[in-house]
Amino acid sequence: MEKIIVPFDFSETAENALGLAAEIAQTQHVPLELWHVIEDMASLAMVGEAGAMNLSLWESYYSQLQEQTEARFKTLVLRYPSLRISYRVEVGSMYDQLIHPLSEVKNAWIIMGTQGAQGLKALYPGSTTEKVIRLAQSPVLAIKSPIALADLQKIAVAVDFHSLTEEYLLQIKFVQHVFQAHLSLVWVNTPSTFQKSREVLDQLHRLALKQLMTNYSVSVYNDYSIEEGIVDFALAEKASLIALATHGRTGWAHLFKGSITEDLANAVDLPVFSFRVIAE
What b-and-e string marks burial along 214-226, b requiring 16 or more CB atoms within 10 Å of the CB? eebebbbbebebb
Q: Could you tell me if 90 and 163 lie in one domain?
A: no
The CATH code of the domain that includes 238 is 3.40.50.620
**In a domain? residue 63:** yes
| Same domain (yes/no): 59, 174 | no
For the CA atoms of 72, 77, 79, 81, what is the dihedral angle to 10 degrees?
Answer: -160
Residues 185 and 259 in one domain: yes
Q: What mean pLDDT do residues 242-267 have?
A: 52
Residue closest to 167 by CA, chosen among 266, 280, 267: 280
Question: DSSP characters for 85-150?
Answer: EEEEEEEE-HIIIIIHHHHT--SEEEEEE----SSSS---TT-HHHHHHHH-SS-EEEE-S---GG
Identify the domain containing residue 176 by its residue range. Answer: 152-276
Q: How far apart are CA 138 and CA 7, in angstroms?
A: 14
Count other Cβ atoms within 10 Å, centred on residue 16.
20
Could you tell me if residue 112 is inside a domain? Answer: no
Q: State pLDDT tens for residues 10-19.
A: 999 999 999 9
- Say whether pLDDT at 90 is over 70: yes
Looking at the structure of the chain, the number of domains it has is 2
Whether 126 is covered by a domain: the verdict is no
In a domain, 146, yes or no: no
| Residue 12 domain-assigned (yes or no) | yes
pLDDT over threshold 70, residue 102: yes
Residue 95 lies in a domain: yes
DSSP assignment letter at 267? H
Whether residues 74 and 181 share a domain: the answer is: no
Question: Which pLDDT value is given to residue 72?
Answer: 95
pTM: 0.83
Question: Last residue of some domain: 44, 77, 103?
Answer: 103
Q: Let me know whether 176 and 73 are in one domain.
A: no
Write out pLDDT tens, residues 173-229. 899 999 999 999 998 888 888 888 888 899 888 888 888 889 999 999 998 888 788
Q: Which of 46, 77, 103 is the last residue of a domain?
A: 103
Residue type, 234: A
Beta bridge partners of 160: none
**Is residue 171, in this structure, part of any structural domain at all?**
yes
| Domain shared by 172 and 263, yes or no | yes
Does 261 share its domain with 158? yes
Question: Where is pLDDT greater, at 210 or 119?
Answer: 210
Q: Are residues 166 and 267 in the same domain?
A: yes
Last residue of a domain, one of 86, 103, 120: 103
- Convert the pLDDT of each residue in 17-50 to its tens digit: 999 999 999 999 999 999 999 887 655 454 445 4
Residues 164, 222 share a domain: yes
Residue 120 lies in a domain: no
Query: What phi and psi, each to the nearest 5 degrees, are found at residue 41?
Result: -105, 5
Q: How far is the C-alpha of 97 from the C-alpha of 248, rounded, in Å?
A: 23
User: What is residue 55's predicted lDDT score, i.e. its pLDDT?
Assistant: 67
